[in-house]
Structure 1
């Protein structure tokens, strides 16, 4: 039975939404095709007919997660508010709906060039976004460097805060990094 183009597009979107969430929650290596198909409410055949391979699905799901997260930002947001929300216990405790960079960064270096390229485009986008919210520096390079350091600090702090077993240390990592960035 043939599926209409509209239904195929809806299926594709459902698969990408489910995969983006599942990959952030369990990691790329922790999710097989079975879990992806089940989460999307689809069959293996549907996934393969849409994407051809798990690698291609992961590539598109990473890009989808990054662009979906970017769309959640209000057009006019204050950098201080963004940093405070990003480095919060609520964000730390919700990896499935949180930042794809923090959820996937440790695995992306071992993925295909397509996945790495999507990730790189997203990182460049976040750096540009942060740079656009920073006060002008005397030299453009200083503003660029500050945006890079801010992005790296935020993602790194979130990764560490999620990884440690001591709740107080986790909270301290978030607080200290937030305070240092906002200083």
Structure 2
């Protein structure tokens, strides 16, 4: 039997991470068994422990990687600056509270899709989640301060952070509510998203 190369092992590990990312976010960590996960990744059940010591270790890595991808989108929006679609934060809110994001619970920001799991699981999972939340708050706070300086409006850093906490809370809450009712009350779901987009930055 041929030996698995380092490249093959790295590819298999990445396949597990990607499958877990989709499944954990759409179904919840506890609902996903290792056998089911490995089948989704195109691998055998027994191979899991060649890559991860436990499902908890995998969940920590999934949370961190999911936030890294999400925060990269935020960083890019801020770097791009204002455009015809609005300010960086206006574009972030519009994308976050879009029907496309709502209808893709296996992707997008883990703040909404992993919120319940983070509260139920180990401190290491919670720490990875908290680090991601802090990343959003840091980015939002810095952008609020930059916008205020650009407009010659005085803004205390503590107030900017309060605004960042409120903004993230409203975005995550609206998305979670919109997802919770979208199949039985699609009109209500759309209304929640629209209201969130209109008022999150007011």
TM-score (norm 2): 0.84
The 1:182/1:119 distance shift into structure 2, 3 A limit, reads: same
Which one is further off, 132-141 or 46-55?
132-141
1:153 aligns with 2:182: no
What secondary structure is seen at the aligned counterpart in 2 of 1:29? coil
Equivalent positions of 1:11-90 (< 5 A) are 11-73=12-74, 74=76, 75-76=79-80, 78-90=88-100
Structure 2 unaligned spans of 5+:
82-87, 149-153
Contact 1:62 1:118 in 2 (8 A): yes
Provide the residue aligned with 2:121 in structure 1. Answer: 111
- Give CA-to-partner distance per residue, 1:50-99, whole Å, 9 cap, x none: 10111111121121222123334534251101101111111111111222
Of 163, 168, 172, 2:187 maps to: 168
The separation in 2 between residues aligned to 1:98 and 1:157, in whole angstroms, is 14
How far, CA to CA, are the matches of 1:122 and 1:47 in structure 2? 26
1:2 CA drift (Å): 3.9
Contact 2:102–2:175, Cα closer than 8 Å, also in 1: yes
Q: Structure 1 residue 19: deviation in Å?
A: 0.8
Partner secondary structure for residue 114 of structure 2: helix
Paired with 2:107 and 2:155, the residues of 1 have a C-alpha distance of 37
Q: CA deviation at 1:17?
A: 1.3
Change (3 A) 1:27 1:8: same
For normalisation by structure 1, the TM-score amounts to 0.92
Mapped contact 2:167–2:201 kept (Cα < 8 A):
no
RMSD: 1.6
Q: Kindly tell me the number of residue pairs found equivalent between the two proteins.
A: 183
* Whole-angstrom distance in 1 between the partners of 2:70 and 2:46: 28
Larger Rg: 2
CA distance in 2, matches of 1:48, 1:103: 26
Q: Are the counterparts in 2 of residues 25 and 95 from structure 1 also a CA contact under 8 Å?
A: yes
SS of 1:96's equivalent?
Answer: coil
> Which deviates further from its counterpart, 143-152 or 17-26?
17-26
Tell me whether 115-124 or 29-38 shows the greater mean CA deviation: 29-38
**Which residue in 2 is equivalent to 1:180?**
199
Runs of 4+ in 1 over 6 A off after TM superposition: none
> Partners of 1:52 and 1:104 in 2: how far apart?
21
